[in-house]
Structures are given as C-alpha cells and as structure tokens.
Amino acid sequence: MWQMAKDSGGLDMNSPYCYLLMCTHFAQTCLMAEMEGEPVGFVTAYRPPTHPDTIFVWQIAVAAQARRTGLARRMVNGVLQSPACSSVRLLEATVTESNVASEGLFRSIAEQMGANFDRSTIFAAKDFPESSQDSPHEAELLLRIGPFDL
Ligand SMILES: CC(C)(COP(=O)(O)OP(=O)(O)OC[C@H]1O[C@@H](n2cnc3c(N)ncnc32)[C@H](O)[C@@H]1OP(=O)(O)O)[C@@H](O)C(=O)NCCC(=O)NCCS
C-alpha cells in the first residue's frame, strides 16, 4: 500500500508504519486489490470513534494501468459490504480541489447509491505546516455521501 501510495502521484506520503497500523486496527475496512497476483489498488478506511455511523475513506489508489475500469468503485463497495459497515449510514472522504478523478469517483458512488452528495472545506491550506508559496498544500474538502441504507 505504501508503495502504491508513493507511485500514485496524487496522495500525501505517510510512513509504512502508518499503513501497518491502519491494516491492523482497521483490518475489516481496509483492502487491497490484486490482478494476476500483483497489487493494483488499495483502500484504507475506518469508522471514526466519535461518528460510528460513518465510514471515512482515508486513502484510495489504483495503479495507472488499472484505472477507469471501475476498480476504485468496486473497492469502496467492498468496504461497504464488510460486516463492520452494517450500521454505516454516511461515507466521508477528503479531497483537494485539483483532484478531479477522486471527486469524480465519490460523485459517481453517490449517484450509484442515489444518495446526497455534499462538499465543504474541512482543512484550509494554512492548516498544513509545509504550506508555503514554494510548496503549498491545497485546502482539503470534506465530501459527504448519505444518509443511505446498506
Ligand atoms: C481516484 C482513483 C482512485 C480512481 O480510481 P479508478 O479505479 O480509475 O476509478 P473508477 O474506474 O472506479 O471510476 C469510477 C468513476 O470515478 C470517476 N472518475 C475516475 N477517474 C476519473 C478521472 N480521471 N476524471 C474524472 N472522473 C473520473 C468516473 O465517474 C468513473 O466512472 P466512469 O468510468 O463510469 O465514468 C485513481 O484515479 C487514483 O488512484 N488516483 C491517484 C490517487 C488519488 O488521488 N486518490 C484519491 C485521494 S485519497
């Protein structure tokens, strides 16, 4: 997952330890997709303890050669089908404004579910320590899908 995040071109980098923790503490809501034995996608998600009716998709990535085949949508559906999501009514994720593919993905999931899609700023650019004129970090938008029944 760490390697795919690194290769994806669109994700903030985190330590390998962070992925090991995610896949240990939230094993029921994180998954990896393989094609012919090779990893081609992953999603890391969890139910925030303060909002257990919500599944928060932290990161999702698909290898360049497997994009636009519906894999990301299938992975999110896979997480939603986990027994850990049986009482989930909302899906949240954050995206940067320039990440057209990611926002398109979550809009298409909302459409597929026939659910509401909301978008608001959750973290401003100035909230990020590395944010500067040389290497600005874009604001993160909170996308919220739902409520829905699974
Ligand atoms: C975002 C990402 C995971 C999408 O993966 P994917 O497997 O190609 O997405 P899917 O094939 O499941 O596409 C589902 C829908 O999302 C939308 N979508 C996907 N890629 C898109 C793009 N480049 N532009 C616009 N819409 C896009 C479309 O509506 C698409 O449905 P359609 O193909 O029927 O039109 C992939 O582009 C990626 O890994 N990007 C880099 C990492 C990243 O930015 N992750 C998100 C932030 S956490």
Does residue 48 lie in a domain region? yes
Question: Ligand 1 centroid vs 67 CA: distance in angstroms?
Answer: 7
Average pLDDT score over residue span 95-106: 96
Average pLDDT score over residue span 78-102: 97
Q: By alpha-carbon position, which residue is closest to atom 35 of ligand 1? A: 68
- Residue 129's pLDDT band (boundaries 50, 70, 90)? confident
96 in contact with ligand 1, CB cutoff 6 A: no
Quote the pTM value: 0.95
- Residue 52's pLDDT band (boundaries 50, 70, 90)? very high
Q: What is the pLDDT of residue 137?
A: 86
Residue 132 has pLDDT above 70, yes or no: no
Look up the CATH number of the domain holding residue 53: 3.40.630.30
Q: Are 70 and 62 in contact (CB under 8 A)?
A: no
59 in contact with ligand 1, CB cutoff 6 A: yes
Q: Count structural domains, the chain.
A: 1
72 in contact with ligand 1, CB cutoff 6 A: yes
Provide the residue range defining the domain that includes 46.
Answer: 2-145
Does residue 150 lie in a domain region? no
Question: Ligand 1 centroid vs 85 CA: distance in angstroms?
Answer: 23
